[in-house]
Amino acid sequence: MDITEVAKRSGVPASALRYYEEKGLISSIGRRGLRRVFEPAVLERLALVGIGRAAGFSLDEMASMFAQDGRPRIDRKQLAEKADELDRLIKKLTAMRDGLRHAVACPAPSHMECPTFRRILSQAVKGASSRKRPTARLSVIG
């Protein structure tokens, strides 16, 4: 299949296909005129790349998941780590969603007067301050 047909059948633009080839995710088997030609199996490989991208893997991470012969070589530990990362993100997004839903339905005259909203705000402040990492510690000698 030439690059135009691969793009049409996979839904991946030709420019992305060329970039994926540059990154080592796919490889062409030659050219027909100026167009790259791919084996039909490239569609399955692109589907794997699409799933990986949807799960949050970078293109470099995805490239490392294929052996030299093009077969998938998926590190289960890496998959488990990504699943754990997604669990943390889901928990964070769920809390954000719940906070927004509460803000919409809160009967308090002002959100700043709402105990639940104040608790959410307090937790957000604690979370933001725990993410800051001091670069150096200063000691005061008195």
pLDDT in tens, 17-68: 999 999 989 988 888 888 889 999 999 999 999 999 999 999 999 888 887 7
For 10, how many CA atoms within 13 A lie in the half-sphere containing its CB? 28
Collapsed DSSP state (helix, strand, coil) of residue 119? helix
What tens digit of pLDDT does each residue of 68-87 get?
777 888 889 999 999 999 99
Distance CA 92, CA 84 (A): 13
Distance CA 137, CA 72 (A): 47
pLDDT over 50 (residue 4)? yes
pLDDT of residue 85: 93
Q: H-helix or E-strand containing 120?
A: helix 115-131
Show me where the domains of the chain are located: 3-63, 76-130
Residues 6+ apart with CB under 8 A from 108: 114, 117
CATH 3.40.50.300 fits 3-63, yes or no: no
pTM value is 0.67
